[in-house]
Amino acid sequence: MVSVFPRLAPRLQEAIVARLGWSALRPVQDEAGAALLDGKNAVVLAPTAGGKTEASIFPALSILLEEKVAGLGVIYVAPIKALLNNQETRLGLYTEMVGLDRFVWHGDTPDHERKRFLRDPCELLMTTPESLEVMLVSQRIDDARLFRNVRMFIIDEVHALAGTDRGAHLLSVIERITARSQCDIQRVGLSATVGNPDAILSWMKGTSQREGVVIDPPKPKAQRQLLVVHRPDLPSLARDAGKVAQGKKSLFFCQSRATTESVAEAMRGRGTEVYVHHSAVSKEERLRAEERFANAKDACIACTSTLELGIDVGDLDLVLQAEAPETVSSFLQRMGRTGRREGRPANTTFFCEAPQAVLQAVALIELAKAGWVERVDVQERCWPVVVHQLLTMALANDGVAPEEAWAHLARVRDFQGIGREEFDRLVAHLLEDQSLLQFSGRLIIGPKVERLFGRKNFMELYAVFTSPQSYTVELQEGGQIGTLNQAYVDRLVEGVSCFLLGGRPWLVVAVNHGDRIVKASPAPRGREPTWGGFLPQFLGYDVCQKVLDVLTSSDEPAYLDADALASLRAQRAAHAGTLRPRIGGIDVTSDEILWWTFAGGRINTTLRHALAALNPSWTIVPDNFVVKIRGGMQGELQDSIRRMRDPGFWTDETFWRGVSMGLPGYRLSKFQPLVPGWIEREMLASFLIDIEGTQTWHERACRELRTG
């Protein structure tokens, strides 16, 4: 294609050649540059380190130079502060080399620096969605003046925001800023992996009238080096990983903080410098690890997903993975850290302790080889953010009129499934319980919201989203074992569920949701952990169906080591005669029924509640692959499956009461105490269970049983 380089502002052309020493742009940069200079909205797709940042920032700088923007012109948004900090130097270089400037604003930015920026705004603002909200609400900021000339939003890692509450919040904030700007703000989303970029583009576009385009130039067939290793325990796993990592630079991704610490401890002393990087490590320690690692030649960072997004830690030789991530997107994002240098293949070595982790790793690899990546489901009835945006608009200036609030909210894609009558019902409820008050026709903050969120000048309200809760796991006789995430704990059954933590199986004795404590004791010999036998992950339907494909196939992938291949063969033999392709099967043991669905965590959790509504005396434990039932007979299960074919069953009040009673009240959103019961029930359905997906799966399974 024709290079976009001659269309860039002359000063930028000179800087790219003289300061960066570049002789050409990459295809994604040429294609994106042409689209953005033509004024189009765009989703730009490229692998990690594939040049996405420059594909957006070069045309943005060119526009700023050619159109002589006064003050703030471009806003770069990242989902996490660490990514902003990581990009600060790079974007600082690009702005400085053409005589412009950038400013980074997030929760750690000193107040005196913010004041300096507000007095004399520079051309590029790097920030988070939450910090933009602060600018819109703060009485000290003239937001109409600040955002008057904004003409472009660049959203990095857009796949991490679309389809989430944070994404709905960002889109609402963008629309509020659009109302203050003189421009139809151009929107640019950057992503390495997403299965439905056209839907992301449509979501991101909002009220913009600009034409939209997906930038996804053909990529040369990538070399990939893959290996799945099975080891019997964590010490031997870490020992062998340490041998592989020696003399190289590597990232070792782990699925929990506890595993990260254990792996790092086991690898130390083998000649390789090992750093730890996860959310419980202080910011200073994480930055120190990133800096030292970037300059090292024989080093490994044991990390969780904190290094999955586009934080640059330099060229890597290896990506190692303990067990397996939850999604193909995560796998590709992590593997994409390698293979940057000419002639070096992208690579991942999976070190699996649990046998079923071997299955999951194979499923992810096979889906990726087929070109499949998870879709991002864009929501249209995002109630928690509707409530939040109502509150922040009521807090700003002299409140907001209901008509004015509705006019704004109706423009946001994530709220477009909500009707005006429903909005009025919500406002009436918020007025009735004094979350809001109404004076002279305008909504203002009420005493209930003051009490819940008013501390430190409503900073608790600006922080839109509650971090996932963690539960401390304690021994009955005292002493801590580690932590489990809240979504996993919600599916534990006292006296029945077992889980793996710190390399050992534990039996759940009691769960205290109030204090967020799980009491546990060592699992009796022979008791298998629940949740697919290893880590507490909530897997999607397609990944679980691929695991079933792997189990019911006879193919033996060449990337399995001898122990992993033996594990695969043993698991296939254990399920022989029970499982059928696409539908699974039912296995009856002496004390329980195993309904092997391979339908994923949300569908199996939905089935759990459906079965409990029909059979209150049963004890039911779902995981990603199987629904375990105690206290029932196979004939009763078959009868329940038939009854669930009735579409009316899924709207039955008994079912919903069972769902509501089975969940801790605070778990969905920090704004849950403010919403009426009918909204809370809908939030439960969208967050935890999947009625539509369950009905579709159930109908297909029944149809295949009849024709099989």
Whether residues 276 and 185 fall in one domain: no
What is the rounded CA–CA span in Å between residue 432 and residue 486? 32
Task: Tell me which of 297, 328, 353 is where a domain ends.
Answer: 353
- In this predicted structure, what is the pLDDT of residue 480? 78
- Expressed as residue numbers, the domain containing 86 is 5-215
pLDDT of 682 reads 82
Residue 427 domain flag: no
Tell me how many domains the chain contains: 2
160 is a domain residue? yes
237-277 confidence digits (pLDDT tens): 888 888 888 888 898 998 777 677 777 877 776 667 888 87
Do 203 and 59 share a structural domain? yes
Sign of CA dihedral 377, 36, 216, 100: negative
| 220 vs 347: which has the higher pLDDT | 347
402 part of a folded domain: no
Is pLDDT of 601 > 50? Answer: yes
> Residues 149-199: pLDDT tens digits?
999 999 999 998 999 889 999 999 999 999 999 999 999 999 987 889 999
Write down the pLDDT at residue 498: 77
Q: What is the pLDDT of residue 127?
A: 95
Tokens 């904190």 belong to which residue? 306
The least confident of 102-116, 398-412, 531-545 is 531-545
Q: What confidence score (pLDDT) does residue 528 get?
A: 54
686 domain-assigned: no
Distance CA 289, CA 481 (A): 26
* Domain co-membership, 185 together with 259: no
> Is residue 673 very low, low, confident or very high in pLDDT (cuts 50, 70, 90)?
confident
Looking at mean pLDDT, say which of 80-89, 479-488, 636-645 comes out highest.
636-645
pLDDT for position 532: 35
What gap in Å lies between CA 178 and CA 186, rounded to an integer? 10
pLDDT for residue 505: 74
Average pLDDT over residues 435-451: 94
In a domain, 346, yes or no: yes
The answer to whether position 549 is within a domain reads no
Res. 531: pLDDT tops 50: no
pLDDT at 293 over 70: yes
Instruction: Report the percentage of the chain scoring pLDDT > 90.
Output: 52
Out of 353, 379, 412, pick the residue that ends a domain. 353
* Same domain flag for 274 and 200: no
656 neighbors 644 (Cβ within 8 angstroms): no
Residues 108 and 180 in one domain: yes
Burial annotation 279-297 (CB, 10 A radius, 16+ → b, else e): eebeeeebeebbeebeeee
Kindly report the CATH number assigned to the domain that includes residue 289. 3.40.50.300
Task: Say yes or no to pLDDT of 465 above 70.
Answer: no
Q: Quick one: 165 and 117 in the same domain?
A: yes
Is the pLDDT reported for residue 457 higher than 90?
no
Domain boundary among 353, 373, 395: 353
pLDDT at site 663? 56
Question: Which residue in 498, 577, 579, 570 sits closest to 544, CA to CA?
Answer: 579
Task: Verify that 112 and 71 share a domain, yes or no.
Answer: yes
Report the pLDDT value the prediction gives residue 564, as an integer from 0 to 100.
Answer: 98
pLDDT in tens, 606-642: 898 889 888 989 999 888 999 999 998 989 999 999 8
User: Does the pLDDT value for residue 303 go beyond 80?
Assistant: yes
Q: What is the mean pLDDT of the chain?
A: 87
Q: Is residue 446 one of the residues assigned to a domain?
A: no
Please indicate, yes or no, whether residues 286 and 345 belong to a single structural domain of this protein: yes
- Mark whether 119 and 149 lie in a shared domain: yes
Whether 383 is covered by a domain: the verdict is no
263, 319: one domain: yes
Q: Where are the beta strands (DSSP E) in 416-542?
A: 436-439, 442-445, 470-475, 480-485, 498-501, 504-512, 517-522
pTM of structure:
0.84
Same domain, yes or no: 231 and 90: no
Percent with pLDDT over 70 in the chain? 88
Strand partners, 593: 588, 629
pLDDT digits (tens, 9 = 90+) for 49-62: 778 999 999 999 99
Verify that 165 and 270 share a domain, yes or no: no
Q: What is the mean pLDDT of residues 382-398?
A: 91
Whole-number pLDDT of residue 283? 63
Asked whether the predicted pLDDT for residue 533 surpasses 50, the reply is no
Chain segment 60-79, per-residue pLDDT in tens? 999 999 988 889 999 999 98
CA distance 463 to 683: 20
pLDDT interval class at 363 (50, 70, 90): very high
pLDDT at 80 (0 to 100): 80
The pLDDT, as a whole number, for residue 491 is: 64
